[in-house]
Amino acid sequence: RWPVPYRRFDYRPKTDPYCQARYTFCPIGSAIPVMKEEDVIEVYRLQAPVWEFKYGDLLGHLKIMHDAVGFRSSLTGKNYTMEWYELFQLGNCTFPHLRPGMDAPFWCNQGAACFYEGIDDAHWKENGTLVLVTTISGAMFNEMAQWVKYDNETGIYYETWTVQASPDNQSIVWFDSYECSKFILRTYQKLADLGAVFKKIQTNYTSIILFSGEPIYLGNETSIFGPLGNKTLAAAIRDFYNPFKPHQTVREFFVDLLKIIDRVILNHQFYLFYNLEYWFLPMKFPYLKIIYEEVPLPVGSKASFGV
C-alpha cells in the first residue's frame, strides 16, 4: 500500500489564465533533435543551488539544489540542457490559492520537462556541479527522447514533499516526491536500461521530508467541497492553507508563520494534496527536514556502451 504510487494521466490539461508565473517557464525551449545513430554523446550531471540566478549560493548552503542533465554531440559539437521544473514556481505547486467565491482550494500546479540548446557553464560550475557521468550513442539518445515525451505527457503534477514515518534509513515512506531530481534519476535509469555505463562517482540530491504517522485518506475535491461534501472538513482544510498564502507585509508573514507553527508542530496537523486527493498527516517530530542524500548512479540491464 505504501508509498502511494504517483498517478500518471492520459493528457496534460490546459493551464488556467489565473495561474501566472513570476519567471517564464522554459523561455528558450526547443524540440529534442534527432541524433545520427553513430554519434557519440557525452552526458553531464548538472546541479546548482535553487534560484542561483537570483541569490547565488545562498540556498546552496542549505543544500537546496536543482538538478539537470547536459548532452554534448561529438559529431556536431553542440551542447544541450534538459531539466524538469514547475510551470508556476515552487510555491504554487506546494500550496493552493483560496479564491473568493470558490469553495475548493485552487491549485496552480504543473511540472514539465524543458530542453534547449547550450549549457550555461558558469551557472552550473560556479556554485554547483558539471561533471561527465557517461557516454551514449545517438541511437540511445533518440530512444531516450521518445521516453521523455511519454514521461512528460503523463507525469504532469509537481509533488514537493516526501512523507516518511521517521528519519530512520529504513523508515516507511508514505508518499514520494515528484520533482526535478526525480526526473533526472528516471532519465539516468532509462539510459542505464538502454546500455549506458555510468562512472563511479558520488551523486547527492535534495529532498524535503515531512514526518508523519500513518496518513488518513480524506477524499477528493468533489467529495469534500462539492454539494454533498463535508462542510466541517472543507472549512478545516481551507483554514489550514490560509496562512501559506503569499504575503504582503512583514507583519502578515510573521502572524501567519505563528499560525503554521501552531498547527503543524503544536497540533501535529498537515493536509496533503497528492494525486488530486486530500490526506491528513498526523505530524511527528522532527516534523520537517531538508536532506542532501546520496543516490548512486544506476546499473543497467543491457549490453554496455560508454565509459
Interatomic CA distance for residues 3 and 75, integer angstroms:
44
Residue of 93, 108, 114, 180 marked catalytic: 180
Please, how many CA atoms are within 13 Å of residue 158, restricted to the half-sphere of its CB?
Answer: 24
Nearest to 46 by CA among 78, 71, 70: 70
The three-class DSSP label of residue 153 is: helix
Residue of 66, 93, 108, 114 marked catalytic: 66
Q: Which residues pair with 115 in a beta bridge?
A: 82
Q: Is 123 one of the catalytic residues?
A: no
* Contact partners, residue 14, CB within 8 Å, separation at least 6: none
Q: How many C-beta neighbours within 10 Å does residue 45 have?
A: 23
Burial of residue 182, with CB atoms counted within 10 A of its CB: 0-12 exposed, 13-18 middle, 19 or more buried: buried
Interatomic CA distance for residues 93 and 243, integer angstroms:
16
Nearest to 298 by CA among 186, 189, 179: 189
Q: Is 66 one of the catalytic residues?
A: yes
Nearest to 260 by CA among 247, 282, 244, 272: 244
For residues 44 and 121, is the Cβ–Cβ distance under 8 A? Answer: no
For residues 104 and 221, is the Cβ–Cβ distance under 8 A? Answer: yes
> Which residues are annotated as catalytic?
66, 180
